[in-house]
Structure 1
Amino acid sequence: MNLLHSALRLASAESPPPNLNGVVSTPDGIVLLGLRGKPLPAAFDMTQDGDWILPSSATTAPTARNSYPAVASIGRLEDGSTVFTDLEADSVLHLVGNRYRAAELLRNIALELGTSVWAEDLELIVVGLDPDLTPLGHHKVETFDDLRPALQRFTDGLDLSVSELDTGQDGAPARRAAGDPSDALVVTVLVVHGVDLYDERLLKDVCERLLARGRTSAVVLTSSTATSLPGPRLSVDEDGILADVEWAGGHVRAEQMPQDLAVSLLDVLATAQAPDEPVPPAAEEHPWAQQMTIDGAWDPELDEPEPAAEPLPSPARTTEQERRLVRVENDDPDLDDDLAEWGDTETPARPLIAVLGEPQVRAPGGPPPIRAAWQIEVVVYLAFHERGVSREKLTTDLWPDNKATSASNVRRTVAELRPWIGKHPTRPDIEFIPSLSTSGDGRYRITGHLLDWELFRRLRKRAQARAAAGHIADARADYLNALRLVRGPILSPLRNRGYAWLNNPDQHHDTLIPGFVIDTAHELVDLSLAEDDIEKARWAAEVGRLVDPDSTHDSPFLDLMRISHAEGDTGAMRQYAELLLAERDFEVGEDLPPESFEVFNRLFPNGLGRAVDDR
C-alpha cells in the first residue's frame, strides 16, 4: 500500500537510537524514517515493498533537528511493534470505516503530534474534535468549531510555505536537517473530525492541490465513515483493525484514544504545564522552623539576617556555609537531646506522637484503658493543629457525620485524654492538653509534645546545612536518624471510618509526607553513592519505597537503578527499569516525565536494549 511507503516498524520493547545520517533527528533519541528514493542509511533495512525497518540495535550519532516532524504512529502489530507513517509524504490522509474507531485513531494522532518531542516543528488546526486540545498550548494547536475559518487559516499558511519552498532547490526535510529556521518549514496539519458533504465541498480543492505537489509542509487529516475526497484512505473496522493493511501476513491494530482517556491526559498535561509553586515556609513558630520549608528542607535565603557586627560564637568557622551552619545549630540546640528522648524506651516525660507509620502515641499516663484508636486519632489531630482549634472546628472535623450531639460530648472526649497525656513533669499545674478555660483563646490544643514528623524535618534541615558546609559524615548521620524514624507507609493503617479530616485542604499529610520522605531518601542516596557506600544508598532507597506502597513516585526506582549501575549489576538495573515502566503502564522511557527520563536515558541511552557500559 502506497500510504506506508515511509512506514517504520519499531520494537516497542526497545528504545530507538538517535538520528541516522541526518534523516531524522531528535534530542532524546526518537528516530523514525526517511523517504523512498532517498539514499538508504546504512542502519535501515528495506523490504521488497519499500517499507523501511529500523533494527533496534542500530546506533548512530544524533544531529540537531528532526527532518520529519509529521511522523505519527498508526497501529501496532501482534508482537507489540509499532507502525509509523509520515503524514507529510502524501500530505492527505482520510481515516474511514467504523466512525468511532476512525475518530479514536484521529484523536490519537492529534494528541501524539501535539505532545511528541519529534513534532516540535508542527502545528495543529483542529476542527470538531472533542475534547478541546487547548491544554496542548496555543503555540501548538488552534481549535475551531467551523471548517471555513480553519481552512482559511490553513490555506494562508500553505500559500506562504509553497511560495518560499519554490524559491529553493532543497526540499523541506533537507532544509530542516540543515538547521533552516524558516517558519515555512513548520508542518501545519489540518485535522477535521466527522467530515460531511459541506466539508467535502470545502476541502476538495485543497486536497487536490496538496496531492499534486507532494511534500509541502502541510497535511490534511480527516475522519469519517466514508468520503469522496481525493487522497489515500486508511480503513478501520469495528474491531480496531486497519482493514487494508498487513505486515508480514499479520494485521495492524489501529492506535486508539477514547474521548474519556483524552480528557484525563489533557488534565494531566494542564497540571504539568502549570507553573511550579515553591514549597512554602514552615508555619511553626519554633526557632528551629526558621529558614525551613514545610518539607524540612533548609532554605538559608528565608529570613537571612544582615551580617553580624560581632563575631560568631565559633570564630574558626569563617566560610559563609560554616556561618550558616552555626545559625542552624543555634536555632535548634535541643535537637540531639530530643532525638535521644525519642529513642528512650522508658515511660516518656511528655507525649511522643508518631505518624511516620501507623499512628502511635506514648504518654506519661500510660495507654488509655478504652477506645485507644479513637483517642490516638484525637491526639494526632491536635498535634497537626499547633495553633489549636475551636470547639466548632474540632466537632466538624472529628465527627463529620454529626454524631457529636452536644458540647458536653466534645468536652468529655477531650477530658478522657488528659489522664493519659499527663501533665508537665516539673509544673504539675500545666496540662499538656489544657482546658478551654486555661488555654487563653478558647481553643483546644496539645503542647509540650514531640512529633516524629517535626523531628524528621529538623534532622533533614541540619543534614542539608552540614552537607553544604562539607560536614558529610555528620550530614549522613542526620539523614540516617531522620529516615530511621520511618516505620511504614505514612499514617497507615488508619482507624476504620476515621481520619476524615485528612481530606481537609491543609491536612493532606498522608499524601504529602511520603513525597517529602522520598526526597530526603534521595539526598542520602546521593551522599552515599558519592562515598561508594552501596549498602546505605540501597537502604535509603528502600525507605523511599516503604512510604510509597502504591509506587506513585519515580525516584525510588530511579535511585535503585543508579545503585545497581554503581555496583555493576545490569540485571537488577533492568529489573527496576522494567518495573518502573510497568507501574506507569509505559512502554519506553520517553514516556516518563523529563526529569525521570533524564536519569533513565543516562543509564539506558539505547533503551532497554543495552545499558550504558561506563561506570
Structure 2
Amino acid sequence: MALRTLAHQLPVEGDAAELPPLRAARLGAREVPAPYPGLVTIGSTEAGDLLLLNLAQVPAVLLDGNPVHINEVCTSLALELGMSPWASDVEVVTIGFGEDLPQLLPTARIAHMRQATHALRDLNERLLEAHQMPETQHQPYLLLCASALDADVAWEFADVIDKAGTVPVTLVAPESTAAAHFPEAEVLNASLGEPQQLDYAGTEITVQRLEHAAYLQITTALKVSGQPAHPAEGPWQEVPDEPDSRQQPQRLAPEEPTAPTSDTATRPSPAEAADRSAEVFPALLAASADPAGLRLLPTAGVPAEAEEDPGTETTTAPTPAAPETDGGENSGEEGTAQEVEESEAHDLHAPEIRILGPVEVAGVDSTGHGPRIVRLAALLYFRPGRSANVLCAHMDPVSPWSASTLNARLQGLRRSLGSDPAGNPDVPRRSSGDDPYRLSPSVRCDWTRFLQLAERALPLGPAGLPDLERALALVRGRPFGGRPLPWAEPYRQEMITRIIDVTHTVATYRTPAGPHHDLSAARQAVATGLDVDDAAELLYRDWMRIEAVAGNRQGLHTAVTRVQQVNRALDCSLELATEQLVNDLLNGSSAAVRI
C-alpha cells in the first residue's frame, strides 16, 4: 500500500509513472500503530469515491432524520470500525442498537450498553484509566448512540468530552436533544438520499447507511463464518437422513393407541418434559396431550432460555474409559445403561460444570462474583493450560481482568469446588509463576457427558434411543446461556450442531409406526432442539412429519406458521426442502399423506 501511494505521487511520463530503481525491501516483525485509527467511511462523493472521516478529531457528529435511518448510519459505522484493520486501538460503545455485535465480531472492539448513563459511567472510568496509564491516552473512544439522549445526559456527555484532554472522545448521536450542547458539531441528515454538504471535509457527500436487510445478511455470514466445520465423522456418520420426499410418513388414526416401547422407563416422562419446557414452543407440548386444543403461536419471540430446577436433572457423568459391549441390539442397549450407571456412582463426589444452558457449577453461588467464577471455571475446563494474560483477556475482552482479579476469582472457585477424597484440590495451586492454570481431571462437564451418551448410542440405531434421550435431557437451553463470552462461541456452535443431530435422530426413530413409535417423545425432542436453535429448519420439518403422522392438521399449521415467522424475522426464504414438504403435506400432492 505504501509503495502504491508513493507511485501515485510520482510524475507521469507517457502512460506510466517513472519509478525509481528499487534494490531491496525489508519487512520487520515490529508493527507500527495505525496513525489514524478513527478513520471510517461516512459516505460517498458525487464521483463515487468513498469519503473517510477521522472521528477521533471531532467531539461530535449529530444525525437528523428518521430514527430508522439514524440507526442504519450508526450500524454502518459500528460494523466498519469493528472490522477495520487500522482501528485495532479504538474502543466503540453502541447504545440503542448492536446488542449482538460484541459476540459476532472477532476483534472484541465493540461494547454494547443498554442505557446512555451506563456509557457515561464507562467513559469516566476510561478517562481515569488513561490518567493512570498514560500509554493508552492516544486510543480513541467512540460513542455511537442510535436513540435520542436525555437532555441532561447530553449535557453531561458534552461536559466530559470537553474535559477529556488528550483522549480522543467522539459522540455520534441524534441531533434532537444533543445539538444545544454541541453547537459546533457537524449535523448530517441520515434520511437524505442525495448529496449534502460536509463542512468539516469541505465537500458534498451522500451519507452511507446499512439497511436492515443488508445488516442481517452480514450478521448471518458472520455467524456462519464463526462456526467450525462439522464433517460427519465417527458415530456422527450414523445420524439418519430425512425421509425421501416421495415417501412421506403414513398417517396413523388419531385414536390409535401408541405402541409401548421397550425403553419407556428409561426416557424422560411427558410430565417431566412438560415441566422443564412449558414456556418454550408450547404448541409442541400441547400437541402431546391435546392436539385439538392447539392454537397458532403468537408472533412475539420465545424466551431465549428455559428455566429448570437443577434438582430435577441427574448431575453425574460417565468416565470416558467405560468399555463398550459387543452383543446384539438388546445387549448393546442394556450394556450402555449399565456403564452409565456405574460411572455415575463412581463420580458422585466430583464437581460438574454445566454449560448446556446457563453456565452453572454446583456449590458456586449465583449472586455476587458467582457468575464470573462459573464462567472462569468453564474457560479453564475448555481451554486448560493458558497463561494469566490469556485468561484475563478471555474473561473480559473489552476491559481485561487484572492479575489480582484473576487470582481472587480462582481462590473463590477453589473454595467452592473443594477437594477430592484424597485431599487434592479441584483447582490445583501453581508451584511457580510459569505454571499454567488448570482444573483437576476429576472435574466433569455436562457437554462431555452429552457426547459420551450420543456417540455411544448413535451406532446402535433405534436401540440407542434411551441414551440419546438421556443426552437431550441434559440440555436446559442455549449452550453457555444467552450471552457467552467470545471465546465460547466456536464451542457453542459445535454444541448446537450436535444437539440438532441428536434431536433429529430421536424424532426420526420415534415418528414412524413400529416398536419405537412415540410421538410425545418425538415432540419433546424437537422442543428441546428448537429451544437451542429456533431457526433450524430441519427440526421444523421433523415437527411437520410428527403432526402429519398424528393426523393433527392444526398442529401441522402451527409448525408451518412458526417456521414462516422465524424466516420473516431473519428476512430469509424457506429452504427448498421445507417448501416442498409444506406443499406436499398441506396441498395433498400424490406423494403426500392426506390428513
More contact order relative to length (CA 8 Å, sep ≥ 6): 2
Calculate the TM-score normalised by the size of structure 2: 0.43
Q: Which has the higher helix share?
A: 2
Calculate the TM-score normalised by the size of structure 1: 0.41
